[in-house]
Amino acid sequence: MKHLVPRHIDALKPYQSARRIGLTGRIYLNANESPWTNTIECKHNNLNRYPDFQPYELLNKYSQYAGISKKNILITRGADEGIELLMRSFCISGNDKIMFFPPTYDMYAINADIFNIRKIIIPLLSNFQLDLISIKKNINNVKLIYVCNPNNPTGNMFLRKNIISILKFIPKTTLLIIDEAYIDYAIENSFIDILNQYTNLVILRTLSKAFGLSSLRCGFVLSNTYVINILKKVLTPYPIATPISDIAVQSLKAGNIKYVQKNILKILYNKEFLVRKLKIFSCIQNIFLSQTNFILIKFFYSEIIFQYLTSNGIIIRDQSHKLGLKDCLRISVGTMNECQDLISVLSRFETKKL
């Protein structure tokens, strides 16, 4: 059977999602999920029929929410499908190149490895901003550029002027893909307002984060009609299940959007509270500025702290293996009770250490 597997797949290291890693506890602050359950329900008696390829009502609702035309939207199974769909649609295996900027979301690199696409890796600067000089030097023949903004796992926004600069100096044959999975926590920084100004701009969105629908797997690709129509050629015949579409439509109704916006404000309040409390701990070297629902923290002896939190039932995400993030742990912002619990456990650690 080993002879059936292409060499690049045999060597592939799969993405280690929060669930795949398999750590269990009582408080989960490791996957940047909303800590609140969305109570939307759906009932269907027509599941014997295939769903619409692109459900009209869902397109209409997201069009209203995002403020763009339905013809500029493609519904996908989470933003993750959008990431790989763009590679499948525009890149030739073994020939074309993509560019991305670590430390960032791992699925840009992993999808490139799956499709045997060359990777141009431009590390972020020490302040977690984009290295425009290196990007410009290495842009030749790059088909796709992936920018996670706000960035995961660093939590920061990239300077708007720098992203605009990239759009201006890259060739029209290069797509700039801005992954806005976390943009609902800093919606004023979205690039959706210039989507119609650049034919090579693509934006990825999701309902997994602020909308509290991670298990739904519903995302959106936003771009010009040419890009959307190319992606439609490659997308599977029935990508969005009827119950998923129905729940997504309900989540985009005015009442639920207000509920989501209130939860965003609670997350931002809890984050401010958490950062303020964590600043007093001697085990912390640095708390990085975040415009998301998580914070990245550089610890002294991070491995010991990670194990201590895990042993106390608090599951967070170790990022110390990533480029430039030695001794860094990422913590999702939870409910106020979860934040206080985290602080209490860290306080016990400090007391024990002393």
Contact 346, 310 (CB under 8 A): no
Q: In angstroms, rounded to a whole number, what is the distance separating the alpha carbons of residues 77 and 206?
A: 9
294-299 and 284-287 as β-strands: parallel, antiparallel, unpaired? Answer: antiparallel
pLDDT of residue 352: 76
CA distances from 26 to 66, 196, 244, 292, 311 (A): 36, 46, 28, 23, 10
Q: Count CB neighbours of 213 within 10 A.
A: 23
Q: Is residue 39 part of a domain?
A: no
Which positions ≥6 away from 263 have C-beta within 8 Å?
A: 34, 36, 210, 212
3-class DSSP state for residue 347? helix
Identify whether residues 269 and 241 lie together within a single domain: no
Q: In angstroms, rounded to a whole number, what is the distance separating the alpha carbons of residues 60 and 71?
A: 10
pLDDT of residue 353: 62
Identify whether residues 174 and 227 lie together within a single domain: yes
pLDDT of residue 265: 98
- Residue ending a domain, among 253, 275, 296, is 253
Reported as a single tens digit per residue, the pLDDT across 197-255 is: 999 999 999 999 999 999 999 999 999 999 999 999 999 999 999 999 999 999 999 99
Reported as a single tens digit per residue, the pLDDT across 324-347 is: 999 999 999 999 999 999 999 999
Please report, as a single letter, which amino acid is at residue 5: V
Identify whether residues 66 and 177 lie together within a single domain: yes
Reported as a single tens digit per residue, the pLDDT across 80-121 is: 999 999 999 999 999 999 999 999 999 999 999 999 999 999
Q: Is residue 19 part of a domain?
A: yes
Identify whether residues 139 and 246 lie together within a single domain: yes
Which positions ≥6 away from 253 have C-beta within 8 Å?
A: 61
77: its two tokens: 């199974």
Q: What is the mean pLDDT of the chain?
A: 95
Contact 66, 205 (CB under 8 A): yes
DSSP 309: H
Q: In angstroms, rounded to a whole number, what is the distance separating the alpha carbons of residues 198 and 125?
A: 26
Cα 254 to its chain centre, rounded Å, is 24
Cα 245 to its chain centre, rounded Å, is 21
Q: Is residue 176 part of a domain?
A: yes
Q: Is residue 48 part of a domain?
A: no
- Residue ending a domain, among 218, 253, 288, is 253
Identify whether residues 177 and 87 lie together within a single domain: yes
DSSP 215: G
Identify whether residues 87 and 204 lie together within a single domain: yes
CATH code, 320: 3.90.1150.10
DSSP 132-197: HHHHHHT-TTEEEEEEESS-TTT-PPPPHHHHHHHHHHS-TTSEEEEE-TTGGGGGGG-SGGGGGG
CA distances from 152 to 68, 290, 332 (A): 25, 10, 11
Q: In angstroms, rounded to a whole number, what is the distance separating the alpha carbons of residues 261 and 210?
A: 8
- Residue ending a domain, among 203, 229, 253, is 253
CA distances from 274 to 31, 215, 299, 342, 345 (A): 17, 26, 15, 9, 13
3-state secondary structure 32-90: CCCCCCCCCCCCCCCCCCCCCCCCHHHHHHHHHHHCCCHHHEEEECHHHHHHHHHHHHH
CATH code, 166: 3.40.640.10
Q: In angstroms, rounded to a whole number, what is the distance separating the alpha carbons of residues 65 and 57?
A: 12
3-class DSSP state for residue 284? strand
Reported as a single tens digit per residue, the pLDDT across 28-61 is: 999 999 999 877 888 787 889 999 999 999 999 9
Domain, as residue range, for 308: 2-34+256-353
HSE value, Cβ hemisphere, 13 Å, CA-based, for 203:
25
Of 95, 74, 98, 77, the residue nearest 87 (C-alpha): 98
Domain count, the chain: 2
pLDDT of residue 270: 98
pLDDT of residue 266: 98
Identify whether residues 300 and 237 lie together within a single domain: no
HSE value, Cβ hemisphere, 13 Å, CA-based, for 186:
20
Specify the higher pLDDT residue, 3 or 119: 119
